[in-house]
Amino acid sequence: MKMRAFRITTGYGDYQNNLVIAENMAQAERIFNNKYWPATIRGIELYSEYVQIQEYDEQAKLTT
């Protein structure tokens, strides 16, 4: 499973940035809306395709 980081900006100005880790942009939007609805999403952009997640990536290195 390849995870990506998406930067989501809201209607509260550019100071309100959120980072969501998901497989694709649609899932990132759904995850954000589940937590912060009814916040207005001003934009979603792919921030990084190369994401390491502590729980998963450290375990993989320790067990190999």
What was the pLDDT predicted at 14?
Answer: 56
Tell me which of 31 and 1 has the higher pLDDT.
31
pTM of the predicted structure, to 2 decimals: 0.76
Tell me which of 62 and 2 has the higher pLDDT.
2
Tell me which of 29 and 12 has the higher pLDDT.
29
- DSSP per-residue letters across 3-63: -EEEEEEETTEEEEEEEEEESSHHHHHHHHHHHHTTPPEEEEEEEES----HHHHHHHHHH
Q: 16-64 pLDDT, tens per residue?
A: 789 999 999 999 999 999 998 888 888 999 999 988 877 777 765 655 5
Closest CA to 21 of 37, 5, 32: 5
